Structure formats: structure tokens, C-alpha cells
Amino acid sequence: MGNASVRRRHSAFAAGLATLAMALGFTSVPAGAAPPEVDYAALGDSYTAGTGAKDAVRPPGVDCWQSHPGYVDIVAATLRANLLDNAACHGAVLSKRSPTYDQVLYTPTVQEQIRSLVKERALSQKTDLISMTAGANDLGFSRVLGVCAFSDEATCRAALAQAESPTALAFLTASLVQTYTTIQVLAPNAKVAVLGYPLLFDPDSPIALPISSANQRLMNGATVTLNATIARAVRIADALPRTDVQYIDVTAAFTGHAVNSVTGSWLQLSPTNFAADYNFHPNDAGHQAYATALLASVNLKQLARP
């Protein structure tokens, strides 16, 4: 599915997004006002593609699956950000060199998304803000989660040890640094905002899940390691000349809102289908939380060009 078709769908829910932005307390721009000040682009995996929004189910035969309104749409709905393009795709890895790249179930990689954004002129000297999530698929988190959901602690621990081996984490770090710096070269005046992942489980919750409490703790620990790896890659990239890369942690925001939290989950989990594609992705409240985290961390007025 091309990015042009993705952009055409944006108009179909623009009115709803404006209403949502007002409900969230974001500022809107009156009709006839000047165009939005911040040119915004996005790319990455399912969390940026909006998976989980509105309980959307993946249609058959779609290469780049997006759901709306995800956090990117909510940010754009503030009308302080002009969404040039969102190239993110559910299931995307960083590049075809990723050990988890699926040659059969083709999904545009982040590297290919970058090329698409350049072609669409969404990455250029005029771009002010870029947001992304990426890295979980490169470590095969979905596969490991499937293993841990229905296995004992030893089997889960072994699967995680393989997924997050020193070699795998070193490769991921290098790939992320290369990705961030490539984006920055193509959009030299932009801030690159890299969002992490929430902890999926509350192991102490009385709400029962197929995955044991012990394995829930292991998966949460793996997410901590993943986020630390992403944050380290951001620090490396940001230390290079002429880069502006920022890591945004969302774990605190999602505390008390795991898939099995009694206080109300901000993450999807089907009670009848543990293997559903949208499981363990932000629901509408979760995408609002991502948008809030991004907007709280990035000063749109500072990014805006005169």
C-alpha cells in the first residue's frame, strides 16, 4: 500500500481528530489562520503506525498496515503540526539486514520508509520534527512473547536470552545509530524524537492471563533492556556533530495501565484471541498518552521556523 493512499485516508477522519484534540485540551487554530508552524513526519513500527487504535483489525493483503487515529494523528490534530507523511508500518524492522526480517510477509523496513519519505519530500531541510518507534521487531519481541505466554519460566528465559544476546543488542544499537544519523542528514534542521515502549504487564495484578506472573516479569525486564538499548543509541547519535536526537521514555506514563492493570489498561489485549495483531499495542487512551508524552517533551514553538 503506497504512502499516497495513506495520506488520502487522512482527510476521512480529520474532523474526528480535531474533536479529539479539543477533548485532550490541545490548542486548535481558527479557520482562516496561518498554516501550521511545524512540519512533521513519522516512521517506524506498529506503535507509530497506530496499531491498536479503534480496535482496528489487519485487513488481508496489506503490506503497510496503519490504524487511525494513532498518536501521530493526535499530534497532527493539534493543528500546531503539519503532518507531511507517516510512513510507519506494523511489523517493520530497521532494514533487510535485520535477523528477523521476513522475506515472505513483506513489510517496508524503516530504511525503505526513509526512502519513501525522501521521495514524498517529507524529509528535507524544511522538516522540523520527526518521531519514530523501532527496535522491538528487530529482537523478535512478538515471537518471544508468544513463547513466554504458553511456556514455563526456563523456556521463556532461554528465548529472551537468545533475543537479547550481547551480539543482538550490539547489532541493534549500531543499526539504530545508523538510522538516526541517516534521518538527520536528510532532515538536518529537524528534531528526531525517539519514543520507547511501555512495560506490558503488571505481574502483581489479580487479573489472570495466559502468561505466568514469572514470565510477565521476564518480559518487562526485556522491555527495560530494549528501552535502555534505544536510549543508548540515541545518546550516541546525539553526541555526533549536527544532530538533535531525543529519547522519550513512556514507562512512567503507562504505570498502572498495563494489559492486566486493575486501574484501566492503556494497552490492547483480546480476551478471546491472544494472538491478535493489535494485542500489546496502545489502545485509544494509550495513543493519547504517547501523543501527550511527545508534546510534553518537544517544544513545538521552538521547532517552528520563522
The pLDDT value recorded for residue 295 is: 94
pLDDT tens figures, 253-278: 999 999 999 999 999 999 888 888 99
The pLDDT value recorded for residue 23 is: 42
Dihedral over Cα of 289, 4, 91, 230: its sign: negative
Least confident of 17-21, 112-116, 154-158: 17-21
Least confident of 71-85, 114-128, 248-262: 71-85
CA distance 122 to 196: 23
Cell of 48: 507509530
User: Which of 176, 181, 6 has its CA nearest to residue 83?
Assistant: 6
The pLDDT value recorded for residue 5 is: 41
Average pLDDT over the chain reads: 89
The pLDDT value recorded for residue 62 is: 84
CA distance 216 to 26: 35
User: Sorting pLDDT into bands at 50, 70 and 90, what band is 306?
Assistant: low
The pLDDT value recorded for residue 2 is: 40
From the number of C-beta atoms within 10 Å of its C-beta (0-12, 13-18, 19+), residue 105 rates as exposed
Q: Looking at residues 106-132, what average pLDDT do you find?
A: 97
- Whether 237 shows a pLDDT value over 60: the answer reads yes
The pLDDT value recorded for residue 80 is: 78
Q: What is the residue extent of each domain of the chain?
A: 3-303
The pLDDT value recorded for residue 33 is: 54
User: Sorting pLDDT into bands at 50, 70 and 90, what band is 3?
Assistant: very low
Q: Looking at residues 272-285, what average pLDDT do you find?
A: 92
The pLDDT value recorded for residue 137 is: 98
| 3-303 to CATH, choices 3.40.47.10, 2.70.98.10, 3.40.50.1110, 3.40.50.970 | 3.40.50.1110
pLDDT tens figures, 5-59: 444 344 444 444 444 444 434 444 444 555 458 999 999 999 999 999 987 778 8
Residue 143 main-chain phi, psi, to 5 deg: -65, -45
User: Which of 254, 283, 260, 276 has its CA nearest to residue 52?
Assistant: 283
